Amino acid sequence: MPKDSGIGASPKRREDVRFLTGDGRYTDDINVAGQAYVHFLRSDVAHARIAGIDTSQAEGMPGVVRIFTGADFEAVGGIPCGWQITDRHGEVMQEPKHPVLAHGKVRHVGDPICAVVADTLAQARDAAEAIVLDLEELPAVIDMKEAVKDGATKVHDDLTGNLCYDWGFVEENRDAVDEAIKSAAHVTTLELVNNRLIANPMEPRVAVGQWEKGTGDYTLYTTSQNPHVIRLLMGAFVLGIPEHKLRVVAPDVGGGFGTKIFHYAEEAFCTFAAKECRRPVKWTSSRSEAFMSDAHGRDHVTKIELALDAENNFTAVRTETYANMGAYLSTFAPSVPTWLHGTLMAGNYRTPLIYVNVKAVFTNTVPVDAYRGAGRPEATFQLERVIDKAARELGVDPIELRRQNFITEFPYATPVAVEYDTGDYHATMDKLIEIADVAGFEARAEESRARGKLRGFGVNSYIEACGIAPSNLVGQLGARAGLYESATVRVNATGGLVVMTGSHSHGQGHETSFPQVVADMIGIPDDMIEIVHGDTANTPMGMGTYGSRSLAVGGSAIVRATEKIIAKAKKIAAHIMEASDQDIELKDGKFTVAGTDKELAWGDVTLAAYVPHNYPLAEMEPGLEETAFYDPNNFTYPSGAYACEVEVDPETGKVTIERFAAADDFGNVVNPMIVEGQVHGGIAQGVGQALLENCAYDENGQLISASYMDYAMPRADDLPMFTVDHSCQTPCTHNPLGVKGCGEAGAIASPPTVVNAVCDALQRAGKNVTHIDMPLSPARVWAAMQGAEPTMGAAQPAAGSAGSAEGRSLHGQG
């Protein structure tokens, strides 16, 4: 029987009622009395010197309050970067200034140049059209490998070049890895692109800045996954506002997927301009603006080599990656291709020697930062693709090759500096083979053949590092922040609880799942507990929601605070019942004294805490409110195995996903319904990356996928029903809930699964296609089929048409 409350139950989400009735309160639904509206005039070219800005005509237009340019922001700081990488030579990364409004130069399509504040949005837009810009266009830096050559045009004139850093990990292993590859029985090499993506939460970003003349207090309403982080970054580094004078509110937020972690110029602008204009200032991004101002994701160009001995044991992995940073360093950008990617290159396997080299490069494109999975999808894609290719080259079963190399003993210290606490990779693979009905594949393939379609099966394993992270560790790695999480549990006199968390829910259902945890600990109904989040004025300093960390880190903080509450409540109960607090038990919302029939209800004790007439006042303060900050001592390591069956239309190259199965090990699960929903969404984004989505720039740096007409979002009829399972559970050993995190698994594990399946379909049809770069559009798949030789050793097919950069630095790829 499924439970109906507490941990392990799937109560219906309480937040759904307001979302289903139109009563949600998203940032754009907030209107502050007297607010003006800002429209940003953005660069329509990738790279240019700003020779002149003539606002004279625009300033006289109806409703215009004020027009701002970069010169107005000379006295304030730039948008800061939160992570500093030290390169393989011991040098710190190059870190250019990122002005709120472009100053001197524009560096990507969408770089804001002017901000027009007016009484209405329409008036602001009208006035922006009357601004005359004199932009002297410069050559655009788009191709990463060209960008780092001597003499290349520089994105930032004051830097030594376009290389942000050249990172090696683990540098001391470099020679040993080279040697292992030289002496290997077999080496499989794969060059690939991890396509640039745009996160595209359905709610575009919004910022409303407010300044109170009477108190000097600022308020920013913003679409953020982490309001405290925004308060700290914007207050301390950009605008010089002390945190006690700045409140940041992130109310209902319509999806984040990483891109709402970062501090953006528009937030700083609205806050700054509210004081300058003496009026609240509101900005609502259009979708077109979102495409050219939200941080993008992925965009790696990689060469990976996998070395095996004569018995097919993995002996070494060596990778070289070019990672696009875009024009400026977004908040966590430098950490993504390094610590969130290099440390995952062991995957699920006992590879003894690993070396990862990453060159991060500035280009005239929108900044690139974390997007669902962030570094881990890039690691998994390389590894799981190269293993599949190796299996083909060696003529062994791809599942068996994986199984042979699985890590089976835990804890396991990888050669890339992390220690997996628990996992059972055979168990998830076994479960996958069952739920994916691998045994029935041949019959289904025959049925596809009868319809003239090519069917393929793809599989992969994955591991991720979630629940970021021990603060002292990330500090050593260059993080400029701690990565704990916080919770304050306030018990009211009448027994209900308010849990104030530093985590932020923007689709994850915390308002439902977090109370399940507290309810279980005390033994009271879920609905006695309310979750408060998203407002720096009434929550403790917290780091927010990303990296599948909310339950593992934020939930653990709630457990710790609730433990303190229970300990104090037991002392109160002991006093009232004249017993030792060691003998007090709390179960089903009742305090009892062991060995007696004395009992006291939860509400009697909470009332006594606030009406302390019969209370140990000499020993304890009244009240029942506790705060905990939880700093984990390791990452968590969710893992699993995914399978996909595709059909390829040999006439058109169109790929359809026929079946998709996921067997995940998330450790303990608090709300299975929510966990499954998270996996579904991750799979859709992973399939989107594999088949549909591509953020494309042309060679001039023009963003050519800047609307939903050009950027292919997965639609309902692009996807099948999914079969997901989370019954393999090896609980995390180091957090009190034993949970691992489930938010990113689907996005991490799905892309290689799909590409493996398409390559399998083509191989089974006698086409020696060993790789196609994502997205596997009909044109690319068709071209790969046409170019493929029916013999071993065929050349890799071209990813795209000659002469087009197709979204990134494809020159030199392959």
Partner 1 sequence: MTKVSMRVNGKAVTAEVEGRTLLVEALRGPLGLTGTHVGCDTSQCGACVVHVDGKAVKACTMFAAEAEGAEVTTIEGMANADGSLGVIQQAFQDHHGLQCGFCTPGMVMSAAALLKDNPKPSEAEIRHYLEGNICRCTGYHNIVKAIQAASGQDVAIAAE
Which residues form the interface with partner 1 (CB under 8 A)?
A: 2, 10, 12-13, 15-26, 28-29, 122, 200-204, 252-255, 257, 284, 286-288, 506-509, 671-677, 680-685, 707-709, 713-717, 719, 721-722, 746
Give every CB contact of residue 245 below 8 A, 6+ residues apart in sequence. 216, 217, 218, 235
- C-beta of 26 vs 412, nearer to partner 1: 26
Residue 286 beta carbon to partner 1: minimum distance, rounded to whole angstroms: 5
Length of the chain: 814
Report phi then psi at 356, rounded to 5: -120, 125
Residue 709 beta carbon to partner 1: minimum distance, rounded to whole angstroms: 6
Residue 650 beta carbon to partner 1: minimum distance, rounded to whole angstroms: 23
Residue 566 beta carbon to partner 1: minimum distance, rounded to whole angstroms: 29
Residue 49 beta carbon to partner 1: minimum distance, rounded to whole angstroms: 30
Give every CB contact of residue 526 below 8 A, 6+ residues apart in sequence. 5, 6, 11, 512, 515, 516, 519
Give every CB contact of residue 675 below 8 A, 6+ residues apart in sequence. 666, 669, 726, 742
Residue 510 beta carbon to partner 1: minimum distance, rounded to whole angstroms: 11
Give 27: exposed, middle or buried? Use CB within 10 Å, 0-12, 13-18, 19+: buried
Look at residue 329 and give its three-state secondary structure.
Answer: coil
Look at residue 245 and give its three-state secondary structure.
Answer: helix
Residue 383 beta carbon to partner 1: minimum distance, rounded to whole angstroms: 24
Residue 729 beta carbon to partner 1: minimum distance, rounded to whole angstroms: 15
- C-beta of 19 vs 610, nearer to partner 1: 19
- C-beta of 205 vs 303, nearer to partner 1: 205
The Cα 225–Cα 500 span in angstroms is 15
**Residues facing residue 200 across a β-bridge:** none
Pairing mode, if any, of strands 246-249 and 218-222?
parallel
Q: What single string gives the DSSP state of each residue in 538-597?
A: TS-----S-TT-IIIIIIHHHHHHHHHHHHHHHHHHHHHTTS-GGGEEEETTEEEETTS-
Look at residue 461 and give its three-state secondary structure.
Answer: strand
State the DSSP code for 477. T
Instruction: Using alpha carbons, select from 275, 287, 141 the residue that is nearest to residue 212.
Output: 275
Give every CB contact of residue 584 below 8 A, 6+ residues apart in sequence. 570, 573, 574, 577, 591, 592, 593, 594
Instruction: Using alpha carbons, select from 492, 504, 576 the residue that is nearest to residue 539.
Output: 504
Residue 257 beta carbon to partner 1: minimum distance, rounded to whole angstroms: 7
- C-beta of 259 vs 330, nearer to partner 1: 259
Q: Apex CA 390: angle with CA 389 and CA 391, to 5°?
A: 90
- C-beta of 119 vs 393, nearer to partner 1: 119
Residue 254 beta carbon to partner 1: minimum distance, rounded to whole angstroms: 3
Residue 27 beta carbon to partner 1: minimum distance, rounded to whole angstroms: 11
Look at residue 32 and give its three-state secondary structure.
Answer: coil
Residue 345 in contact with residue 317, Cβ under 8 Å? yes
- C-beta of 267 vs 725, nearer to partner 1: 725
Look at residue 634 and give its three-state secondary structure.
Answer: coil
Residue 448 beta carbon to partner 1: minimum distance, rounded to whole angstroms: 17
Instruction: Using alpha carbons, select from 95, 105, 773 the residue that is nearest to residue 382.
Output: 773
Distances (CA, A) of 589 to 3, 488, 495: 18, 20, 10
Residue 746 beta carbon to partner 1: minimum distance, rounded to whole angstroms: 8
Q: Helices 398-405 & 425-435, crossing angle to 10 degrees?
A: 160
Q: Apex CA 43: angle with CA 122 and CA 703, to 5°?
A: 105
State the DSSP code for 478. T
Outline where DSSP puts E strands in 12-102: 36-42, 48-54, 64-69
Outline where DSSP puts E strands in 125-245: 132-137, 163-169, 186-194, 197-198, 206-211, 218-222
- C-beta of 13 vs 196, nearer to partner 1: 13
**Residues facing residue 357 across a β-bridge:** 168, 320
- C-beta of 428 vs 685, nearer to partner 1: 685
Question: Two tokens at 301?
Answer: 């160009």
The Cα 195–Cα 752 span in angstroms is 12
Residue 367 beta carbon to partner 1: minimum distance, rounded to whole angstroms: 20
Q: What single string gives the DSSP state of each residue in 677-727?
A: HHHHHHHHHHHIIIII----B-TT--BS--STTTS----GGG----EEE--
**Residues facing residue 636 across a β-bridge:** 466
Residue 209 beta carbon to partner 1: minimum distance, rounded to whole angstroms: 20
H or E stretch including 16? helix 16-20
Residue 660 beta carbon to partner 1: minimum distance, rounded to whole angstroms: 9
Residue 697 beta carbon to partner 1: minimum distance, rounded to whole angstroms: 19
